[in-house]
Amino acid sequence: MMNKDNGPGLEPEAIARAVDVLRRGGVVAFPTETYYGLAVDPFNQKALERLFAVKQRSFSKAVLTIIDHPDQLSRLVREIPPVFNILIRHLWPGPLTLVFDGLPQLPSLLVADDNTIAIRISSHPLARSLVRAFGAPVTATSANLAGEPAAINGQQVLQSLGSGVDFVIDGGDTPGLIASTIVGTRNGQLNLIREGAISFQQVLDVLSAG
């Protein structure tokens, strides 16, 4: 099911329907500032299993999570590395994903083998509205079958995943040029995992400027 009207008058209705789907363990596709993502409740093991099945994704690959405010990090991470505080202040919301040590009680499908979790705050207004209305983090793995290009609009989501997705928040085309940059830490120092929409040099410049 897709919200076919992009008009602002229907956005609250679409968000409310999406939240209802998430609370029932369903899968929602939504736009971000890079590609379309797939949201499920990250604390619902069955919803996570369904997400991996829909994407035909290996259980060994963790999925990205988005939040609405840094305060929500306490539900997901052990601590915030000091080097991340500046990046959070200056580059969130935006296409910068930070990798943290996850809390031990998180579902296994939400974290990598080393118990790390990838998190960001999206700068897309519909993504932010979805997380805010849900009142908790949601997953945001790209909307595509594993190994295929990520969808940049709702129609591509349906063509790729079909009935595997319960609801699509149609926000029109997303840029789709490049994914988010992923940064972690190693021995207290910043570690580039994947360069994407924000150059690593820009990240380093932000750190230098404080």
For the segment 139-198, what is each residue's pLDDT rounded down to a tens digit?
999 999 999 999 999 999 999 999 999 999 999 999 988 999 999 999 888 999 999 999
Phi then psi for residue 96, to 5 deg, are: -120, 115
Would the CA dihedral through 56, 173, 126, 93 be positive or negative?
positive
- Encoding tokens for residue 148? 């295929």
Decide if pLDDT at 8 tops 60: no
Sequence-distant (6+) residues with CB within 8 A of 145 are 55, 56, 160, 161
The strand pair at 167-169 and 181-186 is best described as unpaired
52-77 pLDDT, tens per residue? 999 999 998 899 999 999 999 999 99
**79-98 average pLDDT score:** 97
Mean confidence (pLDDT) of the chain: 93
The reported pLDDT for the residue numbered 145 is 96
Residue with tokens 């595997």: 164
Residue position matching structure tokens 């369904």: 50
Do 181 and 200 touch, CB atoms closer than 8 A? yes
Averaged pLDDT, 83-104: 97
pLDDT band of residue 96 (cuts 50, 70, 90) is: very high
Task: In whole angstroms, give the CA distance from residue 178 to residue 173.
Answer: 14
CB-CB neighbours of 149 under 10 Å:
12
Dihedral sign computed on CA atoms, order 56, 50, 75, 198: positive
User: Where are the chain's structural domains?
Assistant: 2-209
Using the predicted structure, report yes or no on whether residue 122 has a pLDDT greater than 70.
yes
- Indicate the helix (H) or strand (E) that contains 47: helix 45-55
CATH number of the domain at 2-209, please? 3.90.870.10
Residue 5 pLDDT level (bands cut at 50, 70, 90): very low
Structure tokens at 100: 């943290």
Report residue 7's pLDDT band, with 50, 70 and 90 as the boundaries. very low
- CA atoms within 13 A of residue 27's CA, in its CB half-sphere: 26
Query: Does 1 score more than 80 pLDDT?
Result: no
Nearest 5°: phi and psi at 139?
-75, 160
